Amino acid sequence: MIKPDIVFVANLAGVSPATVSRVMNHPDLVHPATRKKVELAIEKSGYIRNRAAQAMHGKRSATIGLVVPTVANTIFAEVVQAFNDTVSEQGFTLLLASHGYDLDAEYRLVRKLLEHRVDALAVVGLDHSAGTFRLIAEQRVPLLALWNYLPDSALPCIGVDNREAGRMAAEHLIALGHRRIGMVFPTTFDNDRARDRKTAATAVFRAAGIVLQDRWQVEVPYSIAQAKAACLELLAGKDRPSALLCANDVIAQGAIYAAARLGIAIPASLSVIGIGDFAGSAQMEPALTTVRIPAQKLGATAGREIITMIGKSDPNYMVHSRIELELIMRSSTAIAVELSESIV
Amino acid sequence: MIKPDIVFVANLAGVSPATVSRVMNHPDLVHPATRKKVELAIEKSGYIRNRAAQAMHGKRSATIGLVVPTVANTIFAEVVQAFNDTVSEQGFTLLLASHGYDLDAEYRLVRKLLEHRVDALAVVGLDHSAGTFRLIAEQRVPLLALWNYLPDSALPCIGVDNREAGRMAAEHLIALGHRRIGMVFPTTFDNDRARDRKTAATAVFRAAGIVLQDRWQVEVPYSIAQAKAACLELLAGKDRPSALLCANDVIAQGAIYAAARLGIAIPASLSVIGIGDFAGSAQMEPALTTVRIPAQKLGATAGREIITMIGKSDPNYMVHSRIELELIMRSSTAIAVELSESIV
DNA sequence: GAATTTAATGAAAACAGTTGCAAGACTGTT
DNA sequence: AACAGTCTTGCAACTGTTTTCATTAAATTC
């Protein structure tokens, strides 16, 4: 038995292929009775339309490409999920690619996605190789930058202002009276999220006259294990900071576990703040104080936005959408030890 | 400036479209000198081949469909990542779909993926609607079940034996002398993973003459928050179990936080075991004892396997691959309180 | 009841490639 | 130098659908 195509269905229904096509794409153009017949024939033959053939016609491929650094870390998983749910509801399918924080790999992936003629492309962050940008511009595919918001970015973007996130976290620690501050961040080389957070936080501290001790600044990759290991070292000696500003909740989680292992009481003798508010951060003991990035909302909004972008024919359509951050005070931060002692 | 197609490239290189096509698909059939010319023309014109047109020819679409319940929970994220990495290396692109544990939604998603003429499909678990199976059989698309291993399943599968996972966890608790045992599981209705684990564990306990108290068996969805909430209730009174067998590490994490909140010492007065060994489980304080499911390996092996399936023309090609489980003893389990007291 | 719209359908030309076939260009042999 | 055999390459048919245009049937108007 051969796989039924549109001609097969047409014969079965006693109509022309054109009509079958119309039933699927412009049902209102065909007479209800005929439509019924055709729908029956589709049902009966087990016909599944061929999107590839449809896409060939310059029509929508009904796919959206999403390129993320990784999907394994909770951070992006939630956004991917929400994004997927949203576009899926509108009939789009997600083509997923992940490059493991390697911008050259990203170029190749974007190329591959363009071969599949995705209707639009979403990427994480605003840092991308020139080649990637050229490629996308040439193909005139709508491109949306996720995760990061910059009011004046050349790219349409929708996300949070990472500078503000850094600022909020820093200000919270300052407000609590901390001056001996450590920062735990991933490499900021080609990661604009981390970079923005770090520079903003640093600026706030500097403005407050706080000197950031080099020995309390560490660089760790994106993993609980490595964050914990690094913090174990950082917190081992007597001479340790009173507060840790972590680039994100994953790292903060590592920091908290390190403290637990060392018997350092949080928040009594060490404050830890993260950024992100990932699943589980609220449930930790102690519950993590953090700057919430509403992943759900971000992904969903991005999904909606990219679909409007596909709708517009204007290739220069711009959008800069800022998702609000929120400081979530929980139990991992408290008034600085020195200060609290002097108060007592 | 118009988007270059294969004809454009052909003219630029001074050859026929057929030759350009061959350069891309059967490079060995064309003279090295011509090949160079064509490659240059491709480069120069910024040509990006159209996979849709290629797929129309009954050729590979170079895509693989992956259907998961959700990508937001760490559990699947790691597998998705490894799977994607592996198939991506071989030139395939992943079409991702998630159904949120709804098998009817799954049917629709599978249909959508088939419309895109994926070269193969991977799904999670062995429980699927009859419609889904029919659909896939009709289309003769290779189908691989991930995550779950059953030696006699009708579907090619690659994963772990969840019954064994349940058994191992149960036996570990028994070996430690626990008899007052609670189980925290998600709904087992249409989730074969959870069901297999639970029934196997239950059987082991029964065989050991242990009576499972109804009041210590709880059903919670897949979330740290809800697991924690449920366990807070379960562990509140005096009359509580000495050990908790959790369906997975996410739930176990919730259980551990609940205990921490209630001031119950782990493992001194409560043992907790999970299943999965997700990222972070090793770093928790106390570190979680668990049955490791090597997600990385599972995803990668599945990726390799599905590609061989695509290679074979035999639609009945079968594979049942079992990924080994391993009990990882860490600090969240210890000898049962009653027993340890009597020993002292 | 004829003339004019309007609605419903079909025929055929795209779309962007791939491939079987055949012809022309080489190579090596006698 | 003629012949057979092998390499390269182009022609043209084909893939499954959509869409424009034309045609016919039905509905509306006068």
Question: pLDDT tens across A97-143, in order?
Answer: 999 889 899 999 999 999 999 999 999 999 999 999 999 998 989 99
CA of B7 to C1' of C21 (A): 21
CA of A115 to C1' of C15 (A): 16
Query: Is-contact A304 A182, C-beta < 8 A?
Result: no
Choose among B98, B150, B102: nearest CA to B122.
B98
Interface mutation vs chain A, best among B6, B45, B51, most A CBs within 10 Å: B51
Residue B2 has pLDDT above 80, yes or no: no
Query: Is-contact A171 A204, C-beta < 8 A?
Result: yes
Choose among A131, A227, A218: nearest CA to A183.
A218
User: Which among A52, A85, A97 is the nearest to B93, CB-wise?
Assistant: A97
- Which residue from B minimizes the CA distance to A134? B46
Q: How confident is the model at residue B287 (pLDDT cuts 50, 70, 90)?
A: very high
User: Which among B111, B117, B223 is the nearest to A50, CB-wise?
Assistant: B117
Are B71 and A85 inside 8 Å of each other by CB?
no
- The conformational region for residue A68 under phi > 0 = left, psi -120 to 50 = alpha, else beta, is beta
CA of A25 to C1' of C1 (A): 39
Q: How far separated are the first and last CA of chain A, in Å rounded?
A: 86
The neighbouring-strand residues paired with A218 are A184
Residue with the two structure tokens 């068996």: B217
- Compare A316 and B220 and report the one with higher pLDDT: B220
CA of B13 to C1' of C23 (A): 22
Confidence at residue B343, expressed as pLDDT on a 0 to 100 scale? 43
The number of beta carbons lying within 10 Å of the beta carbon of residue A142 is: 23
Residues A307 and A199 in one domain: no
Confidence at residue B207, expressed as pLDDT on a 0 to 100 scale? 98
Residue with the two structure tokens 């937001």: B72
Q: How confident is the model at residue A82 (pLDDT cuts 50, 70, 90)?
A: very high
For B170-213, the pLDDT digits (tens) are 999 999 999 999 999 999 887 899 999 999 999 999 999 999 99
State the virtual CA torsion across A35, A39, A41, A46 in degrees, nearest 10. 160
Q: How confident is the model at residue A344 (pLDDT cuts 50, 70, 90)?
A: very low
Interface mutation vs chain A, best among B5, B56, B74, B81, most A CBs within 10 Å: B81
Distance, CA of A342 to CA of A153 (rounded, Å): 47
3 state DSSP class of A38: helix
Q: Are strands B63-68 and B120-124 parallel, antiparallel or unpaired?
A: parallel
Q: How confident is the model at residue B3 (pLDDT cuts 50, 70, 90)?
A: confident
The verdict on residue A56 lying in a domain is no
Those residues whose C-beta lies under 8 Å from the C-beta of residue A311, and which sit 6 or more positions away, are none
Interface mutation vs chain B, best among A68, A96, A224, most B CBs within 10 Å: A96
Domain with B259, as residue range(s), is: 162-292+328-343
Residues of A in Cβ contact (< 8 Å) with B294: none
Residue type, A80: V
What's the whole-number average pLDDT of chain A? 93
Distance, CA of B327 to CA of B335 (rounded, Å): 16
The verdict on residue B58 lying in a domain is no
Residue A75 has pLDDT above 90, yes or no: no
User: Where do the H-state alpha helices sit in chain B?
Assistant: 6-13, 17-25, 32-45, 51-56, 74-89, 103-115, 130-139, 162-175, 192-207, 224-236, 249-262, 295-311, 337-343
For B295-332, the pLDDT digits (tens) are 999 999 999 999 999 998 777 889 999 999 999 999 99
Helix B249-262 with B74-89: angle, nearest 10 deg: 150
The verdict on residue B1 lying in a domain is no
Residues B156 and B166 in one domain: no
Q: How confident is the model at residue A58 (pLDDT cuts 50, 70, 90)?
A: confident
Interface mutation vs chain A, best among B6, B68, B71, B133, most A CBs within 10 Å: B71
Q: Are strands B289-292 and B326-328 parallel, antiparallel or unpaired?
A: antiparallel
The verdict on residue B255 lying in a domain is yes
- Which residue from B minimizes the CA distance to A53? B56
Angle at A312 between CA A309 and CA A314, to 5 degrees: 105
Distance, CA of B110 to CA of A316 (rounded, Å): 35
% of chain B at pLDDT higher than 90: 85
Nucleotides of strand D within 7 Å of the protein's CB atoms: 7-12, 14-20
Does strand D come within 7 Å of the CB of A11?
Answer: no
Residues B300 and B317 in one domain: yes
| Average confidence (pLDDT) over A72-81 | 87
| DSSP state letters, B15-76 | S-HHHHHHHHH-GGGS-HHHHHHHHHHHHHHT----HHHHHHTTS---EEEEEES-SSSHHH
Residues B333 and B319 in one domain: no
Å between B100 CA and nearest CA of chain A: 9
Residues of A in Cβ contact (< 8 Å) with B97: 84, 88, 93-94
Residues A214 and A283 in one domain: yes
Residues A84 and A191 in one domain: no
* Window A:222-251, CB contacts with B under 8 Å: 223-225, 228
The number of beta carbons lying within 10 Å of the beta carbon of residue B101 is: 18
Query: Is-contact B136 B226, C-beta < 8 A?
Result: no
Confidence at residue A338, expressed as pLDDT on a 0 to 100 scale? 65
Query: Is-contact A249 A281, C-beta < 8 A?
Result: yes
Residues A302 and A279 in one domain: no
Those residues whose C-beta lies under 8 Å from the C-beta of residue B325, and which sit 6 or more positions away, are B160, B161, B164, B165, B168, B291, B292, B293
CA of A29 to C1' of C4 (A): 22
Helix B6-13 with B32-45: angle, nearest 10 deg: 120
For B156-175, the pLDDT digits (tens) are 999 999 999 999 999 999 99
The verdict on residue A45 lying in a domain is yes
Choose among B15, B19, B14, B118: nearest CA to B62.
B118
Does strand D come within 7 Å of the CB of B132?
Answer: no
Helix B103-115 with B130-139: angle, nearest 10 deg: 10
CA of A57 to C1' of C13 (A): 12
For A199-248, the pLDDT digits (tens) are 999 999 999 999 999 999 999 998 899 999 999 999 999 999 999 999 99
Residues A259 and A130 in one domain: no
Residues B153 and B167 in one domain: no
User: Which among A62, A111, A117 is the nearest to B50, CB-wise?
Assistant: A117
| DSSP state letters, A135-198 | HHHHHT--EEEEEE--TT-SS-EEEE-HHHHHHHHHHHHHHTT--SEEEEE---SS-HHHHHHH
Distance, CA of A88 to CA of B98 (rounded, Å): 9
| Average confidence (pLDDT) over B33-55 | 94
The verdict on residue B55 lying in a domain is no
Residues of A in Cβ contact (< 8 Å) with B253: 280, 283
The verdict on residue A119 lying in a domain is yes
Residues B187 and B299 in one domain: no
Are B56 and A51 inside 8 Å of each other by CB?
no
Distance, CA of B245 to CA of B252 (rounded, Å): 8
* Window A:274-293, CB contacts with B under 8 Å: 279-280, 282-285
Query: Is-contact B330 B288, C-beta < 8 A?
Result: yes
Domains identified in chain B, total number:
3
* Window A:110-139, CB contacts with B under 8 Å: 111-117, 135, 138-139
Residues of A in Cβ contact (< 8 Å) with B254: 283
Are B56 and A52 inside 8 Å of each other by CB?
yes
For B84-143, the pLDDT digits (tens) are 999 999 999 999 999 988 989 999 999 999 999 999 999 999 999 999 999 999 898 999
The verdict on residue B311 lying in a domain is yes
Burial class (CB in 10 A: 0-12, 13-18, 19+), B219: middle
Q: Are strands A93-98 and B93-98 parallel, antiparallel or unpaired?
A: antiparallel
Residues A185 and A248 in one domain: yes
Choose among B154, B153, B155: nearest CA to B163.
B153
| Average confidence (pLDDT) over B16-30 | 95
Distance, CA of B283 to CA of B330 (rounded, Å): 10
Q: Does A332 touch chain B if contact means CB atoms closer than 8 Å?
A: no
Cα–Cα distance list, A216 to A37, A171, A240, B149 (Å): 73, 18, 8, 48
Give the domain CATH number at B91.
Answer: 3.40.50.2300
Task: Using the CB atoms, write b or e for B278-310: b if 16+ within 10 Å.
Answer: bbbbbbbbbbbbbbbbbbeebbbbbbbbbbebb
Which residues in window 37-66 of B are less than 7 A from strand D by Cβ? 53, 56-58
For A12-26, the pLDDT digits (tens) are 999 999 999 999 999
Which residues in window 224-263 of B are less than 7 A from strand D by Cβ? none
Are B81 and A71 inside 8 Å of each other by CB?
yes
Residue type, B88: S
Confidence at residue B46, expressed as pLDDT on a 0 to 100 scale? 93
Distance, CA of B74 to CA of B250 (rounded, Å): 8
3 state DSSP class of B252: helix
Burial class (CB in 10 A: 0-12, 13-18, 19+), A34: middle
- Which residue from A minimizes the CA distance to B116? A51
* Least confidently predicted of A169-173, A286-290, B277-281: B277-281
The neighbouring-strand residues paired with B160 are B148
What's the whole-number average pLDDT of chain B? 93
* Window B:148-187, CB contacts with A under 8 Å: none
Confidence at residue A213, expressed as pLDDT on a 0 to 100 scale? 96
Are A80 and B95 inside 8 Å of each other by CB?
no
3 state DSSP class of B273: strand
Query: Is-contact A53 A47, C-beta < 8 A?
Result: no
Residues B79 and B118 in one domain: yes
User: Which among B53, B254, B283 is the nearest to A283, CB-wise?
Assistant: B254
